[in-house]
Amino acid sequence: MSTAWSLRSWVRRVRSPAIIAAAVAVVLLASACVPPPPPPPPPGSKVYLTFDDGPSVYTPQILSELKAEGVPATFFVIGANAAQFPSSLQQEHADGEGIGDHTWDHPDLTTLPPDQVRSELQSTADEITNLTGTRPTLWRPPYGAFNAQVTQIASSLGLSMRLWDVDSQDWTMPGTGTIVSNVVNNVSPNAIILLHDGSPDLTGDRSQTVAALPTIIDTLRGQGYSFGALVTISGATTGPTGPSVPIGRE
Ligand SMILES: [Zn+2]
């Protein structure tokens, strides 16, 4: 049954001009409320995928999707998880992905004394260096929580902070479609996008992130974006520095 035929039959059945007019008004109002598609970004615009809290059992799937799409990303890894999944960390490096320091076991650094802040960052940087041969130059604070003391200690270790512009909220497992829309509806040129390939205690289910990633990549490409990394394989920082205040808590 064609749409035009069913519409004609509905109009014949209803026969009330008032109801038909009201229905037309509802349809017009609904179409007026649909937001227009975002304008295409300027040519050459990039966005930056970042994955936190890994490595984990989900990391190989994320890496293989990135490889299949030819898309770079930056991984902010937890030291204890790198020690548990050393081959995944080494695969990130071998694939040319950026790797950053996300502390040893994901504490809120603003609650710790200076020597423990230093130890959290340094032990993770040492683990990354031992496994990949490259010392990290970027870090991201767990929960986006930092203060002047924390950033000073990180700077003294050669670590430059990178927060994020777009929060996928993937760790709340809101459903693949919501993860996709949280990202693709909120990007702008140079946006740093927060996703998760692991979790602090390695119990987090990241299958929705794995399922969402190809659609995120394809949709952003369709919008006119390409993808960049925040750090090169040799540890040189590249790309945007991102916001100085976190967008929510990761
Ligand atoms: Zn984290």
Q: What are the tens digits of pLDDT across the range 152-163?
A: 999 999 999 999
What spacing in Å lies between the alpha carbon of 53 and ligand 1's midpoint? 5
CA distance linking residue 56 with residue 84, whole number of Å: 8
Other CB atoms within a 10 A radius of the CB of residue 140 amount to 28
CA distance linking residue 215 with residue 221, whole number of Å: 10
Q: What are the tens digits of pLDDT across the range 109-125?
A: 999 999 999 999 999 99
Q: What are the tens digits of pLDDT across the range 70-95?
A: 999 999 999 999 999 999 999 999 99
Catalytic residue (choose from 53, 196, 197, 201): 196
Q: What are the tens digits of pLDDT across the range 195-210?
A: 999 999 999 999 999 9
Comparison of pLDDT for 8 and 116, the residue scoring more: 116
Catalytic residue (choose from 52, 53, 165, 197): 52
What is the pLDDT at residue 39?
76
CA distance linking residue 197 with residue 7, whole number of Å: 48
CATH for the 46-227 domain, from 3.90.950.20, 3.20.20.370, 2.40.30.10, 3.90.79.10: 3.20.20.370
What spacing in Å lies between the alpha carbon of 124 and ligand 1's midpoint? 13
What spacing in Å lies between the alpha carbon of 204 and ligand 1's midpoint? 12
127 close to 86: Cβ distance less than 8 angstroms: no
Q: What are the tens digits of pLDDT across the range 212-239?
A: 999 999 999 999 999 999 998 788 898 8
Comparison of pLDDT for 247 and 24, the residue scoring more: 247
What is the pLDDT at residue 234?
82
What is the pLDDT at residue 10?
54
What mean pLDDT, rounded, does the chain reach?
A: 90
Nearest to 133 by CA among 99, 105, 84: 99
What spacing in Å lies between the alpha carbon of 185 and ligand 1's midpoint? 23
> Does residue 5 surpass a pLDDT of 60?
no
Residue where the block lists tokens 């929705």 = 208
Element (DSSP H or E) covering residue 233:
none
Q: Where are the domains of the chain?
A: 3-33, 46-227
Query: Is 91 buried (19+), middle (13-18) or exposed (0-12) by CB count in 10 A?
Result: middle
In sequence order, the β-bridge partners of residue 100 are 76
Q: Does residue 196 have an active-site annotation?
A: yes
Residue 207: partners with Cβ closer than 8 Å, 6 or more residues away: 58
> Does residue 166 surpass a pLDDT of 80?
yes
Query: Is 90 buried (19+), middle (13-18) or exposed (0-12) by CB count in 10 A?
Result: middle
100 close to 128: Cβ distance less than 8 angstroms: no
